[in-house]
Amino acid sequence: MDHPILHHYAQMVNYFGELLGPQYEIILHIIHPDGGSHIGAIANNELSGRSLDAPLTDFALKMVQEKTYLEKSYVTNYKGVMSNGREFKSSTLFITDENNELIGLLCVNFDVRAYESVADQLLTLIGSSKQLTSRPVDAAEPLENFAVNIEQLIEQIVPPHYLDPNISLTMEQRLEIIKELDEKNVFQLKGAVSDVAKVLNVSEPTMYRYLKQIKDQ
């Protein structure tokens, strides 16, 4: 956490975590100059189960790669989904330095289930048969997938049949998987090469050869 302003945002994480309550997860992601990242502070992380070692979400990676912060200061009220189906309403504030370089993300994830449950109970009390249910996801609407580690992020991106341990993947299939993960910026995450190598049952040197082959295409 080199930049002084990030220390202030780290304090804000705990402050807003207590102020807003346990239905809100607050996370400060520190963005490294080389494109990597780590979590600098987190509050109420029992909502997602993530720890300080958790990676950026796929949507956050996409925003970093596309430099969304150059067009807007924040993105609000997009849908986030955990691997267990738990839904959040999420928002992200982009933190930039004096040179307008991205140095951090302040993310707020709101657990909508508690309030949907209360609303359903109120509707029941007034005799209404209508219940609040999650609306279908619009294909054009941003969707964020939460992962507690890189392995889970891989599972969210790669088709399940490719991850079956009983199936022997061809080199072409491995390259297809690695290309997909590269396009999703997964390899920007610390330790991603090693974790993907384990999932694909190949060595790290082989992974680097595959990555070079993809970059050279």
- Average pLDDT rounded to a whole number, residues 51-75: 89
* 78-94 confidence digits (pLDDT tens): 988 876 677 889 999 99
Six-digit token string for 143: 């969707």
Q: What is the pLDDT of residues 33-48, one digit of tens each?
A: 877 888 999 999 988 8
Name 78's bridge partners. 90
pTM: 0.69
pLDDT per residue as tens digits for the range 169-200: 888 888 988 988 888 878 878 788 888 888 88
Residues 79 and 160 in one domain: no
Going from the C-alpha of 39 to that of each of 34, 172, 173, the distances in angstroms are: 15, 34, 32
Q: How far apart are the first and last CA of the chain?
A: 36
Residues facing 81 on adjacent strands: 87, 145
Give the lowest-confidence range in 1-10, 135-144, 168-177. 135-144
Same domain, 174 and 108: no
157: alpha, beta or left, given left = phi > 0 and alpha = psi -120 to 50?
alpha
Q: What CATH number is given to the structural domain containing 80?
A: 3.30.450.20
User: What tokens does 176 get?
Assistant: 């297809």
End position of a domain, from candidates 85, 112, 139? 112
**One-letter amino acid for residue 29 of the chain:** H
Instruction: Name the residue range of residue 91's domain.
Output: 4-112
Q: Is residue 122 part of a domain?
A: no
d(CA 47, CA 59): 18
